[in-house]
Structure 1
Amino acid sequence: MKTRYFICSLVSLLVCATSFAQNHSGIELFNLGELTTAKQLFEGSKGVSPDISYYYLGEIALKEGKNSEALEYFNKGINADSDAVFCSIGKVKIEQKASPKELSKELKNIQKKNKKDIAVLVQIAKAYWDVDMIADAESTLSAARSIDKNSALPYLLGGDILLKKGNIGEAASQYEQAYTFDPSCVVAYIKNALVYETTNSTTSINTLKSGLEANPNNTLINKYLADIYYHHGFYQQAIDAYNLFFQSNNQSLADLKNYAASFYFTDNYEKALEIIQEVLAVDPNNRVMNRLLMYTFDKQKKFDKALDASEKLFALSPDDTQTPLLANDYIVYGDILRENGDLDKAIVQYDKAIALDTEKLDVLKDITGKLVNANRFVEAGKLYDRYIELAKETESSDYLLMGIAYYQAAVKASKDEIEKDQTKLVEYTTKAEAAFSMVIDLVPDSYQGYYWRANVKTLLDADLSKGLANDDYLKMIEVIKSNDLDSNINKLVEGYRYLSIYYLYQFDSNKKDSDKQSAKKYAEQVLELNSNDDTAQKILEVLSN
């Protein structure tokens, strides 16, 4: 009989200890706005501690705007425990909200019966604050502080009130006092860290580390430490902290999203994929995870799976999530389509990316590079043109790249044997020439503008009868010789070779000795730089006969 009693007592103690732990964790989570997980914990403890559990279930319902449900919870707490103080506070707050005098009267009666219970007074102060009875809230909070000056609870609520007023510095001071008086107050460390996260992440991280030193077994601090690491791009540190937090088995889908993304950003795509699929098994229409799934398959170069993931992402209804599609989503989708051989559809997606954010210059530059790589030179040239139009500041390289795109388009037009279009050739060469002229204006000491403009003019003078490129090649040679001869030998060879061919043709046409001597001179200059140049050797051979 004694043994049975002893065992029953142990079981009872274990149940109470478990309930206390659930309530403590639940209150921490509630105070931090982690309502879903907090609700689960309070649902699990309401049979053992109905007053606290039903009170916080009611408070969660109030935060969700469900007043009737909240009142139902408070009544259940009172029915389960006739001495339910906290649920009585919640019930009064709802039922007497429209009657401040009656509300104050009833709360004061509760306060008189529990005038030494600091937790009760803090919740009464919160009730006053919730119904905008600010003076009563502050006086009750002051009374709570007088009970136990070393309790964290009044400072915690005081910080919350100041934060809602926008007094960030004073709120942080209250949170700091809370954990100074009570180092076990985990919520105070976290709230103080969150106050500073956007302005001083180092302070936030150090505050949480201090909290861990005082509470080494508290996994909740690791959750917020992981969040801050994640938000500021310290992804490996975020992974390490999440691993510790997940030991509590209280992780939410939001935590798993950050966890998966951290693996993605540390190039651990296999692990990222594992977590992504875990989330999607529970929430298949989650846009963030479907996006990350597409990105991950793309990084793994599994383009068939990436295409399936892309189609799922873009098929999701806007009602499925509050997360909007990003310009980069369209870019990656376009890349995947391109890798699957559907360039035209890819360009449609690139256009959508640009339309989504017409002034996002990095998007324009990124897509122009992709179009060049796909040999879509006309589209690339137009995007460079748009980029230059929108950019507040441009560089010579912007005009150079635009010019090269139009030059490549002109080369393609000149080689089109099926439908040779002289109009397009003129259009593209005109645009290319204008772009290279801008390069020359911006950096006249660079050979690049002269070199590329000479190439453009060669397209309009295929038989070299007009010598359209002569001046630009000569200027290019002059600039190279005066600046950096050794690193541009090939360009010099190209320029001398062009001029030797031009004068050879002229000599062949009119038999002027001056043209012969010029052709010979430039051919010899080619051979000085490259003794094995076949073209220069043949020119000298022809001229010697």
Structure 2
Amino acid sequence: MKEISKIAMAALPLIFAGSSVFSQSLDDAKKAIDAEQYQKATSMLKNLTVTQADKDENYFYLGWVYILQDYPDSAKTVFNQGIAKNAKSALNYAGLGAVARLEKNSAGATTNFNQAISLAGKSSTPYLYVGKAYLLDPADAKAAADVLNKGKAVNGKDADLLVTLGDANRLLVKSSDALNSYEAALTANPKEASAIVAKGVLWKFANNFEQSEAEFKAALALDPNYGPAYREWAETDLRWAFNDPKMASAKVKEGLENYKKYLSLTDRSVESRIRYAEFLLLAGDYKALQAEVAELTKMSTNLKVQRYLGYSAVENKDYPTAVTALNKFMSEAGEKRIIPRDYIYLGRAQIGTGKDSLGINTLKKAIELDSTQADLYAEIGKTLFTKQRYVEAGDAYNTFIAKGKGVKLTDHFYEGLSYYYGFQKQYFSTNKEVAAKADTSLLTKADSAFAYVIDKTASSPYADAFLFRARTNDYKDADRNNIKGLAKPYYEKYIEVVNAKGAPTDQKGKTNLAEAYAYLGTLAEFKDKDEAKASENYTKARELDPANKSAQRYFQKKSSAGR
């Protein structure tokens, strides 16, 4: 999430091989990593692996930068080189464990982490990086905290470790413990800007945005060039905007400005720009996001670029671009790096290009990977309904209603519509065998859905629910020679609700109301043998819709009889 102005020196040539020069140079590289100046750090560390090729630490920190840049294959190569230089390099084993975690190789991660800890001796740094490796997946904060506490026992004044322990406790929602760790880090090193920023992040998640800003300002007072403070400040602005609608516009604008400051203090590397892209994604600025990642595709093979290009293209309804980008990402990233969200966006893109069946199957894949994505069934239902695959649409809405979290009354209504139209499509099929076997259970399902809507809108009646429940029950009145009038109470209620709002002025409203009166007229004419009632209802139907066939038939019959 950062971007950085170009650095003055791409590499730091080392002329001297003395230990003091090595120490200072590695320290500079580590400071660059902390400042998220990854391009600068990479250049320095590559140089160190040449000029100080026997130092296994150089390889580890170079590999760690690759981890942070999402290049696990390159990281693995460098960590192995470090171990080749020193078979007892605890840090490089920690690095291999981190790679194994990214590859979702739990056994490999555990083996390498255990090896790192067994070789750590009196150094807390291997514990630190095993903890950081666990935190690559926030869900593993407990494992991170456990190993970091062991590292704390080795060296309770390791400020970096204390900050990371605080981060783990924050993710575990142990806010007091997190704050204590950050304060301990500042006691160990009063100039630890990352600890102050971490306190700001802690306050951010407590929605104490003013205190959060105060911490970021304090970190910048300590080090005006500490870019991560601006990045976290920008992300706090965004959270503030989401939580306070009155401040939304101002805070999103401020967040973008703070992110630009962050970029100016880093090296504007591809990775920094990718983090900026992530910020734009969170901010919902999809046009800016697509423009940013479109530029990045010209200069980077980082697969995240393709992922975010795909996401933004979907949001901007540029579906062909999205399909191409996401297919490239998913084919090259491999299953271990694919997340449910990738399938969600690819599915939407496929549907957007007209490949509905493929898109629906892709959305279902997302649900298989993450059952909390059950709300996608609503999208699937909508797509199927649009394509007139009504029975499947009804089933999708039914599943969404059973498992989803954002269920609305309109979803129940569309479940009913889907089953209603599904039956109707079978009933009027040109295939006589299909028509003869029209599934009446669909009518029961439709009736149940409409009944639910009617029940939940009793205080503010939803007219169309009565209309479609009437139509559904009319189909259920199967014996047309001995009609029971199952639809009557719903058509009557429909008439009552519509007229209570005033006579309809649009043709669709008039046609639907005429349908209700015509049904009552037919019932009075043929079932009740009430000529006066029949005439009254047919007359109202004709006035609303002169083209109503039932009314036309009735009055033509009367006209013929009167001759």
Question: What is the TM-score when the length of structure 2 is the normalising length?
Answer: 0.63
CA pair 220-250 structure 1, distance change in 2 beyond 3 A: farther
Aligned partner of 1:170 in structure 2 is 180
1:437 & 1:537 partners in 2: Cα distance? Answer: 32
Do residues 503 (structure 1) and 521 (structure 2) align?
yes
Structure 2: segments with no counterpart, 5+ residues: 1-14, 65-78, 90-115, 124-146, 170-176, 243-250
Residue 532 (structure 2) aligned to one of 512, 517, 526: 517
Whether the 8 Å contact between 1:32 and 1:187 is mirrored in structure 2 is: no
Do residues 313 (structure 1) and 329 (structure 2) align?
yes
Task: State the one-letter code of the partner of 2:311.
Answer: Y
How do 1:451-490 and structure 2 match up within 5 A? 451-459=467-475, 466=483, 467-480=485-498, 484-485=501-502
How do 1:66-215 and structure 2 match up within 5 A? 66=82, 69=85, 137=155, 156=159, 159-160=162-163, 163=166, 167-175=177-185, 186-200=193-207, 202=209, 203-215=211-223
Residue 363 (structure 1) aligned to one of 359, 376, 398: 376
Q: Give the deviation of 1:188 after TM superposition.
A: 4.0
Aligned partner of 1:115 in structure 2 is none
CA pair 170-488 structure 1, distance change in 2 beyond 3 A: farther
2:217 & 2:149 partners in 1: Cα distance? Answer: 36
Residue 284 (structure 1) aligned to one of 301, 305, 308: 301
Residue 512 (structure 2) aligned to one of 481, 494, 510: 494
Do residues 295 (structure 1) and 311 (structure 2) align?
yes
1:59 & 1:443 partners in 2: Cα distance? Answer: 64
Residue 324 (structure 1) aligned to one of 338, 341, 344: 338
1:451 & 1:354 partners in 2: Cα distance? Answer: 35
Residue by residue over 1:46-85, the C-alpha shift from the partner in whole angstroms, topping out at 9 and shown as x without a partner, is 999x8xx979737737986946647999xxxxxxxxxxxx
SS at match of 2:388: coil
Q: Give the deviation of 1:455 after TM superposition.
A: 1.3
2:427 & 2:164 partners in 1: Cα distance? Answer: 73
Q: Give the deviation of 1:260 after TM superposition.
A: 1.8
Residue by residue over 1:318-364, the C-alpha shift from the partner in whole angstroms, topping out at 9 and shown as x without a partner, is 26xx53331x4334333333333333323322332333334533222
Task: State the one-letter code of the partner of 1:517.
Answer: A
State the percentage of identical aligned residues.
Answer: 18
Residue 380 (structure 1) aligned to one of 386, 393, 411: 393
Whether the 8 Å contact between 1:61 and 1:69 is mirrored in structure 2 is: no
CA pair 367-99 structure 1, distance change in 2 beyond 3 A: closer
2:330 & 2:207 partners in 1: Cα distance? Answer: 37
How do 1:292-441 and structure 2 match up within 5 A? 292-318=308-334, 322-326=336-340, 328-390=341-403, 396-419=409-432, 420-441=434-455
2:366 & 2:160 partners in 1: Cα distance? Answer: 46
Residue by residue over 1:170-209, the C-alpha shift from the partner in whole angstroms, topping out at 9 and shown as x without a partner, is 2222355678x65xx5344334334545445624443113
1:21 & 1:241 partners in 2: Cα distance? Answer: 31
Residue by residue over 1:25-55, the C-alpha shift from the partner in whole angstroms, topping out at 9 and shown as x without a partner, is 534345578888545335568999x8xx979
Q: Give the deviation of 1:454 after TM superposition.
A: 0.9
Q: For the pair shown, which has the larger CA radius of gyration, 1 or 2?
A: 1
Which structure ranks higher in relative contact order (CA pairs < 8 Å, sequence separation ≥ 6)? Answer: 2
CA pair 456-250 structure 1, distance change in 2 beyond 3 A: same
Do residues 28 (structure 1) and 31 (structure 2) align?
yes
Q: Give the deviation of 1:371 after TM superposition.
A: 2.0
Whether the 8 Å contact between 1:400 and 1:435 is mirrored in structure 2 is: yes
1:235 & 1:339 partners in 2: Cα distance? Answer: 30
CA pair 187-41 structure 1, distance change in 2 beyond 3 A: farther
Task: State the one-letter code of the partner of 1:210.
Answer: A
**Count of matched residue pairs:** 455
CA pair 517-25 structure 1, distance change in 2 beyond 3 A: farther
Aligned partner of 1:87 in structure 2 is none
Task: State the one-letter code of the partner of 1:221.
Answer: A
Q: Give the deviation of 1:386 after TM superposition.
A: 1.8
Aligned partner of 1:41 in structure 2 is 44
Task: State the one-letter code of the partner of 2:535.
Answer: K
Q: Give the deviation of 1:214 after TM superposition.
A: 4.9
1:135 & 1:307 partners in 2: Cα distance? Answer: 51
Task: State the one-letter code of the partner of 1:193.
Answer: G
Q: Give the deviation of 1:491 after TM superposition.
A: 5.8
Task: State the one-letter code of the partner of 1:436.
Answer: F
CA pair 173-58 structure 1, distance change in 2 beyond 3 A: same
CA pair 459-301 structure 1, distance change in 2 beyond 3 A: same
Question: What is the TM-score when the length of structure 1 is the normalising length?
Answer: 0.65
Instruction: Give the RMSD, CA atoms, in angstroms.
Output: 5.1
CA pair 218-430 structure 1, distance change in 2 beyond 3 A: closer
Residue by residue over 1:121-154, the C-alpha shift from the partner in whole angstroms, topping out at 9 and shown as x without a partner, is xxxxxxxx9997978846xx6xxxxxxxxxxxx8
